[in-house]
């Protein structure tokens, strides 16, 4: 992929609907080799009335240039806190990064001061949230919100910024962009607002886009349009994407790799195929079995019974012990180490231990 290719091409505007057919399989199977972001051993806690919430308890992963990494897991497992830590959005003093680093272009983002971080936020890394309204200022015209970032961070002229904004609105599929620049957020539908938020996030041509449940609030037909847009943008700009979602269908469609989180830890990580077809962690397996499949006939849904542990006093051993059908005595007492299943696939589970394998054979 050509990383200089920042020019985005115009969307095809045609009839009322288009039939899309994925190009030959393998299109997105390129090998990613250049690490662009390294998250290492992150511990993040929040002080609350009830005590200290240990939201992240040693999160590590790498992100490669040009890939889409999906982070999945039940609510409260730490997906948003992970994203917010990378973005420097942990609210202080209640929230605190207790340990670990976020390496981006040779810098540890957790050590940057506020003004340096603001520059990274505006230019290198952009974030999209679930609710587009929280990201938009209701009192400012769309045009102003689009050009603001360009003008403060890149000192571009008004005319130049406007041109770029109009072009980007076209790219994200907003009809009559020139007219729409003059309108306010409430004059757009939910799907259109999310497109605008995406345009704002892209205008400074970031290298990394973090999208936290970007389609959760949207309807499926609109979600399909937005996912298509993500793929298209990535193909054209080579932007890396961290996609947080709870929808495994969305993951199957656009992720390259998947990190599965549970109770503040990444418990399994691998390529999309490894995680879907040869999941190793009992939690990952449970998650996959609990989603209904539109394309299958009468299969039995298998919920994961119980709830995740309390993060005020997380278990010292494997946090899935209380819900795990395979739990052994050791699980409760000692956290399992990380086992590499392949170069790309790793899991934290005692079942990988040779002694356990014998036990279950």
Ligand X SMILES: Nc1ncnc2c1ncn2[C@@H]1O[C@H](COP(=O)(O)OP(=O)(O)O)[C@@H](O)[C@H]1O
Q: Is 113 helix (H, G, I), strand (E, B) or coil?
A: coil
Single out the segment in contact with ligand SF4 by CB under 6 A; choices: 3-11, 41-49, 96-104, 347-355.
Answer: 347-355
Please report how close the Cβ of residue 212 comes to ligand X at its closest, in angstroms: 7
Please report how close the Cβ of residue 78 comes to ligand X at its closest, in angstroms: 4
CA separation for the pair 310, 280 (Å, rounded):
24
Instruction: Report the residue number, 78 or 185, with the smaller CB distance to ligand X.
Output: 78
Contacts of 66 (CB under 8 A, 6+ apart): 1, 3, 30, 32, 234, 238, 239, 240
Instruction: Report the residue number, 103 or 330, with the smaller CB distance to ligand SF4.
Output: 330
Residue 350's binding partner, choosing from ligand SF4, ligand X, other proteins, none, with beta-carbon cut-off 5 to 8 A by kind? Answer: ligand SF4
Task: Give the residue among 143, 188, 154, 195 at the shortest CA–CA distance from 172.
Answer: 195
- Residue-by-residue DSSP string for 153-202: HH---HHHHHHHHHHHHHHTT-SSHHHHTTS-GGGS-HHHHHHHHHHHHH
**Residue 282 binding ligand SF4, by CB under 6 A:** yes
Taking only Cα atoms into account, the Rg of the chain, rounded to an integer number of angstroms, comes to 21
**Residue 336 binding ligand SF4, by CB under 6 A:** yes
Per CB under 6 A, the list member of 69, 331, 345, 346 interacting with ligand SF4 is 331
**Residue 265 binding ligand X, by CB under 6 A:** no
Per CB under 5 A, the list member of 45, 80, 194, 240 interacting with Mg ion is 80
The answer to whether 196 and 169 have CB atoms below 8 angstroms apart is yes
Per CB under 6 A, the list member of 30, 48, 157, 278 interacting with ligand X is 48
Q: Which residues, 78 to 117, sit near ligand X by CB under 6 A?
A: 78-81, 91, 94-95
Contacts of 153 (CB under 8 A, 6+ apart): 119, 122, 123, 204
CA separation for the pair 291, 313 (Å, rounded):
29
Pattern 286-325, ligand SF4, x by CB under 6 A: --------------------------------x-xx--x-
**Residue 69 binding ligand X, by CB under 6 A:** no
Torsion of CA 9, 14, 20, 22, to 10 degrees: -20
Instruction: Report the residue number, 157 or 290, with the smaller CB distance to other proteins.
Output: 290
The answer to whether 147 and 163 have CB atoms below 8 angstroms apart is no
Per CB under 6 A, the list member of 28, 326, 338, 341 interacting with ligand SF4 is 326
Instruction: Report the residue number, 1 or 316, with the smaller CB distance to ligand SF4.
Output: 316
In the complex, the residues that contact ligand X under the rule CB under 6 A are 46, 48, 53, 55, 73, 75-81, 91, 94-95, 311
């Amino acid at each position: 992929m050509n990383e200089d290719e920042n020019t985005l091409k115009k969307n095809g505007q045609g009839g009322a609907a288009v039939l899309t057919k994925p190009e030959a399989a393998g299109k997105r199977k390129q090998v990613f080799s250049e690490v662009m972001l390294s998250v290492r051993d992150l511990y993040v806690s929040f002080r609350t009335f009830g005590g200290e919430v240990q939201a992240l308890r040693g999160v590590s992963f790498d992100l490669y240039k040009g890939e889409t990494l999906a982070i999945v897991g039940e609510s409260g497992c730490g997906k948003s806190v992970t994203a917010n830590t990378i973005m420097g959005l942990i609210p202080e003093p209640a929230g605190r990064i207790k340990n670990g680093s976020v390496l981006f272009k040779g810098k540890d983002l957790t050590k940057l001061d506020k003004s340096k971080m603001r520059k990274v936020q505006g230019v290198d890394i952009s974030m999209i949230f679930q609710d587009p309204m929280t990201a938009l200022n209701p009192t400012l015209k769309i045009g102003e919100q689009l050009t603001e970032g360009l003008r403060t961070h890149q000192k571009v002229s008004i005319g130049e910024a406007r041109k770029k904004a109009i072009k980007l609105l076209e790219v994200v599929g907003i009809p009559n962009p020139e007219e729409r620049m003059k309108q306010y957020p409430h004059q757009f539908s939910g799907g259109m607002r999310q497109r605008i938020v995406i345009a704002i996030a892209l205008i400074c041509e970031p290298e990394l886009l973090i999208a936290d449940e970007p389609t959760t609030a949207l309807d499926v037909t609109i979600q399909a349009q937005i996912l298509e847009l993500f793929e298209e943008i990535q193909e054209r700009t080579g932007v890396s994407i961290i996609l947080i979602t709870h929808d495994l269908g969305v993951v199957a469609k656009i992720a390259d790799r998947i990190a599965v989180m549970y109770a503040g830890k990444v418990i399994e990580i691998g390529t999309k195929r490894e995680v879907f077809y040869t999941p190793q962690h009992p939690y990952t397996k449970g998650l996959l079995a609990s989603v209904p499949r539109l394309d299958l006939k009468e299969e039995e849904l298998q919920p994961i019974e119980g709830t995740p542990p309390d993060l005020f006093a997380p278990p010292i051993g494997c946090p899935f012990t209380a819900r795990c059908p395979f739990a052994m005595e050791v699980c409760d007492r000692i956290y399992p180490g990380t086992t590499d299943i392949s170069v790309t696939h790793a899991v934290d589970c005692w079942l990988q231990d040779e002694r356990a394998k014998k036990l279950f054979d």
